Amino acid sequence: MKKREKTELLTTNSLFEKILNGGYPEIYVTKDIDREKFFESYIRTYIERDVRQLINVQDEIKFYKFIGNVAARTGQELNITDICKDIGITNTTGEKWLSILVNVGLVFLLQPYSNNVVSRVVKRPKIYFTDTGLSCYLSGYLDSITLEKSAYSGAIFETYVVNQILKSFANNGKDARKYLYYYRDNNGKEIDLLIIYNNTVYPVEIKKSANPKMDSIKNFDIVKKFGMNVGNGGIICMKENIFPIDINNNYIPIEYL
């Protein structure tokens, strides 16, 4: 993997403006584009072009609601039963529709890590929309200030970070699904992200803060049980510069992604 270099300093507001706009090129290359109309058109075209043949026409309204419900849960552990109850569809239908979103690249499922020596871990993946702008649009956020102050801000910040890491693997010609996991056990211990590469595990926490608490890495010792090498870990956050937490872990500014 190529070594990442720091980009320009992102203020919190400029970062959330970037998150709100998402990553579709048209948002940036088309002058005076109406963001809401762009995403409205994108969803309509997506339904008509890519999905109409895969679901019954009478289900389209519920499918719209399903996409919006998934977007509102980005960065969370997937609970397909709750989503289906909210929409009024069966679990079988919900699983089919989720598979469509994954297969066309609108959603990424981050799998939980487990092996023979790690027990009592959750089995459900975490769900991430692959474009933060579309996720924000579907969740009803219209400006970066409201987004930044909302209860959604932590989840969409995490979604942005995960997406940047996914792009990094893709740019290096690698399938991120082979290398990225998360950890959560039945005792409530969690690590946001595990990067497992060349038999080495790198634990990562993701915090929407310029000064995350040191105890954010309190669960990192869990990875010593995995039976592989343990690399340097860190907290990806809004600090301006890389700064050591301890001998093995660092605060990592988001600009390095």
Q: Is residue 4 part of a domain?
A: no
What is the pLDDT, as a whole number, of residue 1?
43
**Cα–Cα distances in Å, from 207 out to 89, 144, 179?**
34, 18, 21
Domain with 64 in it: 12-256
What is the pLDDT, as a whole number, of residue 119?
67
3-state secondary structure of 206: strand
Q: Is residue 137 part of a domain?
A: yes
Q: Is residue 244 part of a domain?
A: yes
What is the pLDDT, as a whole number, of residue 2?
45
Q: Is residue 60 part of a domain?
A: yes
**Ramachandran angles phi, psi of 40, nearest 5°:** -60, -45
The total of other beta-carbon atoms located within 10 Å of residue 77's CB is 16
Instruction: Say if CB 248 and CB 233 are below 8 A apart.
Output: yes
Count up the domains in the chain and report the number: 1
- The pTM assigned to this predicted structure is 0.92
**Tokens 């339904």 correspond to what residue?**
47
Which H/E stretch holds residue 39? helix 35-46
Q: Is residue 5 part of a domain?
A: no
Q: Is residue 2 part of a domain?
A: no
Return averaged pLDDT per consecutive 10 residues of the chain, 257 residues in all. 56 93 90 90 82 70 92 97 95 92 92 81 93 96 95 97 95 93 91 96 96 94 93 95 94 93
**Cα–Cα distances in Å, from 19 out to 132, 138, 215?**
6, 13, 27
Q: Is residue 1 part of a domain?
A: no
Give the CA angle between residues 132, 174, 67 to the nearest 5°: 30
